[in-house]
A and B are shown apart, each in its own frame.
Chain A
Amino acid sequence: MTFELETAAHPENLKRVVIEPVSRVEGHGKVTLLLDADNHVHQARFHIVEFRGFEKFIQGRPFWEVPVIVQRLCGICPVSHNLGAAKAMDMIVGAKLTPTAEKLRRLMHLGQVLQSHALHFYYLASPDLLFGFDSDVAKRNIVGVAAAYPEIARQGVALRKYGQEIIKLTSGKRVHGTGAVPGGVNKNLTLAERYALLKDIDQMIAWSRDAVDLIRKVYCETPDFHNGFGFFKSSFMSLVREDGALDLYHGGLRAKDQNDQIIFDHLDYSHYWDQVHEEVRPWSYMKFPFIRSMGRENGWYRVGPLARVNNCDFIPTPLAEAERKTFKEFGGGMAIQSTLAYHWARMIEMLHCAEGIKELLHDGDLLGDELVTKGERSLRGVGVIEAPRGTLIHHYRINEDELIVRANLIVSTTHNNQAMNEAVRQVALKYLDGNELTEGLLNHIEVAIRAFDPCLSCATHALGKMPLEVELWDAEGKVVDRMERGSAGSCGV
């Protein structure tokens, strides 16, 4: 662990390097490094500096509005917020979903994860993986990939479009639809829509397999590099089905420690706070969740594709399960801890989504017309879902007038907060220590952050370049070095 790099003993004597903005996800992110005179790293922090306050905005709103309102949190995975909030509202209206409603929600969710994973892998991550972290910045983008690897880019575009089509058909719109409502869904699928989706699904499965092959090949060509880049050990947390299977829509919470030992299993998420506590630190607006029984020092964990594939006992679709076994063998039967393994796990999940979509499309329940149910009213609701980036918690309390009086959201990027800090520290120590600042070296930090697919990476990896402004200050507060990378990706000193 490199906790000693979180707070330097004498920051006043150190040079300050600021990477800002790292992103614009729900706002601004930045990285700060404190270096000594020989450019050795003494402190490394990854900050999300924007105050969002969404929990406050929705206080006083009627509960039934919430599944639609919360989608505005994010233009990248609005479906996850729609579903997380709707699951919480199911509890408030006392609903047990009909098979039609649950399967339509699952279909919507698989489409969402498929398109999000495709976006991240092909648009954001593949330029680094295919061209190299130090490659020409002008081609580190999806159009650069299209020029050099047109077939790969075509597949990425088609996979994302297919996922969006599922979202559109199940929720009404590609972005900010209204599919999931308290107690169910507001539309089913027509025969024509089902046929249209079935027409292309085998191709989507085939391309998803190609994507797993591609990332496995890239990873295994230089296993030492990929395993060692931003390496650290942590616990993992995710939902699993009752039988231990990977389940992106519903289940109990499972956490394993860094030695692959169960911390808790099949935890009823409606009492998540029994196990997960959120710590506040003065230098970031983002909270630092940790597992209570392990304490704040040791209880932090990772979520997302790597956590899910490591944590589950099996994946309930055959092709993805075969790939999970290969992944597991690569790790010698233990959880894989490497930061860059997120990409590999993400593509295994994309394949699972494609297979899952095919299974659902053959299920006649999708055409049913019992869409909404309700039961005994409750004043509290908790909804948890495995969003593309990891476990997403929506927790609400309402009053007798059915207005929201309290809300708490723990989004995937928040769960990964400490882990992303850890990755930045590892990379800074290994690649920046004693080096002059170059665009390629800065991109190493971005690559580590990007592997988590935090919401912020979406905006910042634009064109293969996060817009960066880096300043090197001496102990007297004088700027001694400065580098800018503009929105066009050009660098200047």
Chain B
Amino acid sequence: MTAPLLIFAYGNPSRGDDALGPLLIERLEALNPPNVELLTDFQLQVEHAADMLGRERVLFVDASVSCAPPYAFTRLTAAKDTSYTSHAMSPAAVLQAYRELYGEPPPSYLLGVRGHAFELGEPLSAAAASNLESAQALLQKLCASPSHQAWDQFIMPPEKTI
């Protein structure tokens, strides 16, 4: 059966703080939250729209180069943008692809965790490790919240997301 909540983290584990998303998924896997499917990949692509089929909510998790530490939690809207490639897309573009392919997408959110260093082969930076702890605490609260209406209370004002 399709889990009602999909948490989809993306990033390259070999590129320093870009590993934040996949690391958060690893931690959630260990906690095994009910009614949640956890997926991870290097980048977002068109076919990830198909992963959203049948969900009540979708949460994208990514390292952010610009948000205020430790993280930004926002609601996503589908949007045509310039990110359509065979390699990588933005979450808004994936939602737009979903809309074109399957109709209105489920309520979707983005958790951007502030990263600081993205060099190939580098480990997670100390600052990112701290942000990861905070993000994990939020993720656990989100997994325990029953509806997207309940999630809206965690949405951060625009000034906090830079």
7 closest Cβ contacts across the A-B interface? A462-B85, A146-B100, A488-B82, A463-B84, A161-B47, A157-B47, A458-B86
Q: What chain B residues lie within 8 Å of A158 (beta carbons)?
A: 47, 50
Point out residues on B near A: beta carbons under 8 Å.
41-42, 46-47, 49-51, 80, 82, 84-87, 93, 96-97, 100-102
- Cα distance, A375 to B34, chains bound together (Å): 47
Given contacts A143-B96, A157-B101, A458-B86, 18 further A-B contacts (CB under 8 A): A123-B86, A142-B86, A142-B97, A143-B46, A143-B97, A143-B100, A146-B101, A150-B101, A153-B101, A157-B49, A174-B41, A175-B42, A459-B87, A461-B86, A462-B84, A462-B85, A462-B86, A488-B82
- CB pair B100–A153 under 8 Å, yes or no, is yes
Q: Binary interface profile of A, 130-168, with partner B (CB < 8 Å = 1, else 0)?
A: 000000000001110011001001100110110010000
B82 CB contacts on chain A under 8 angstroms: 463, 487-489
Q: Is A75 in the interface zone, CB < 8 Å from B? A: yes
Residues facing B in A456-473 (CB within 8 A) are 458-459, 461-463
Question: How far does the alpha carbon of A164 sit from the alpha carbon of B84 in the complex, in Å?
Answer: 19
Q: Which residue of B lies closest to A151 (CB)?
A: B101
Contact A150 B50, beta carbon cutoff 8 Å: no
A215 within 8 Å of B (CB atoms) = no
Shortest C-beta distance, A163 to chain B (Å), equals 10
A144 nearest CB neighbor, chain B only: B84
Contact B50 A157 (CB under 8 A): yes
- Complex Cα distance, B44 from A234, in Å, reads 39
Residue of B whose beta carbon sits closest to that of A72: B14
CB distance from A181 to the nearest CB of B (A): 21
Task: Tell me whether B100 and A150 are in contact (CB under 8 A).
Answer: yes
A-side interface size class: 20 to 34
Residue of B nearest to A118 (CB): B47
Q: How far is the CB of A449 from chain B (nearest CB, A)?
A: 15
**In the complex, how many angstroms separate the beta carbon of A111 from the nearest chain B beta carbon?**
14
**In the complex, chain A residues whose CB is within 8 Å of the CB of B101:** 146, 150, 153-154, 157
Q: How many A-B residue pairs have CB under 8 A?
A: 60
A253 within 8 A of B: no
| Chain A residues within an 8 Å CB radius of B51 | 161
Contact of A143 among B50, B87, B93, B102 (CB under 8 A): B93
Are B50 and A161 in touch, CB under 8 angstroms? yes
Name the B residues within 8 Å of A150 (CB-CB). Answer: 100-101
State how many angstroms separate the Cβ of B132 from the closest Cβ of chain A. Answer: 22
Contact across chains for A147 and B86 when beta carbons are under 8 A apart: no
Which A residue's beta carbon lies closest to that of B89?
Answer: A143
User: Can you report 27 A-B residue pairs in the complex whose CB atoms are below 8 A from each other?
Assistant: A75-B42, A75-B87, A119-B86, A142-B84, A142-B86, A142-B97, A143-B46, A143-B84, A143-B96, A150-B101, A153-B100, A153-B101, A157-B46, A157-B49, A157-B50, A157-B101, A158-B50, A160-B46, A161-B47, A161-B50, A175-B41, A175-B42, A462-B87, A463-B84, A463-B85, A487-B82, A489-B82
- Give the distance in Å from the alpha carbon of A455 to the alpha carbon of B96 in the complex: 27
Q: How far is the CB of B85 from chain A (nearest CB, A)?
A: 3
A123-B46 contact, Cβ under 8 Å, with A174-B41, A487-B82? yes
Indicate the member of A150, A461, A462 with the most B CB atoms within 10 Å: A462
Which residues of the partner chain A approach B80 to less than 8 Å between Cβ atoms? 143
Cβ contact within 8 Å between B47 and A160: yes
B87 / chain A contacts, CB cutoff of 8 Å: 75, 458-459, 462
Interface residues of A in 27-75 (CB under 8 A from B): 75
Docked CA distance A52–B11 (Å): 23
Q: Which residue on chain B has the smallest CB distance to residue A163?
A: B47
Chain A: minimal CB distance from B95 (Å): 11
A124 interfacial contact with B, CB 8 Å: yes
Q: Which residue of B lies closest to A145 (CB)?
A: B100
Q: Could you tell me the distance in whole angstroms from the C-beta of B83 to the nearest C-beta in chain A?
A: 8
Tell me the complex Cα distance, A303–B43, Å: 30
Chain A residues within 8 Å of B96, by CB: 143
Residues of B within 8 A of A488 (CB): 82
Closest B residue to A174 by beta carbon equals B41
Closest to B100 in A: A146
**Chain B nearest Cβ from A462, distance in angstroms:** 3
- Among B41, B46, B50, B102, the one with the most A-chain Cβ atoms within 10 Å of its Cβ is B46
Q: Contacts of A154 on B, CB cut-off 8 Å?
A: 101-102
Residue of B82, B86, B100 contacting most chain A CB atoms (<10 Å):
B86
Whether A164 pairs with B47 at a CB distance below 8 angstroms is yes
A247 to B: closest C-beta gap in Å:
28
Nearest neighbor of B82 in chain A, beta-carbon distance: A488
Q: Which of A154, A157, A160, A161 has the most CB of B within 10 A?
A: A157
In the bound complex, residues from chain A placing their C-beta under 8 Å from that of B97 are: 142-143, 146
Give the nearest-CB partner of B102 in chain A. A154
C-alpha gap A330/B70 in the complex (Å): 62
Q: In the complex, what distance in Å separates the CA atom of A450 from the CA atom of B66?
A: 36
A174 to B43, CA, bound (A): 11
In the docked arrangement, what's the CA distance between A318 and B42, Å? Answer: 37
Taking the nearest CB of chain A, how far is it from the CB of B120, in angstroms? 11
Query: Which of the listed residues B47, B51, B87, B100 has the most CB atoms from chain A within 10 Å of its own CB?
Result: B47
Nearest-CB residue, chain B, relative to A461: B86
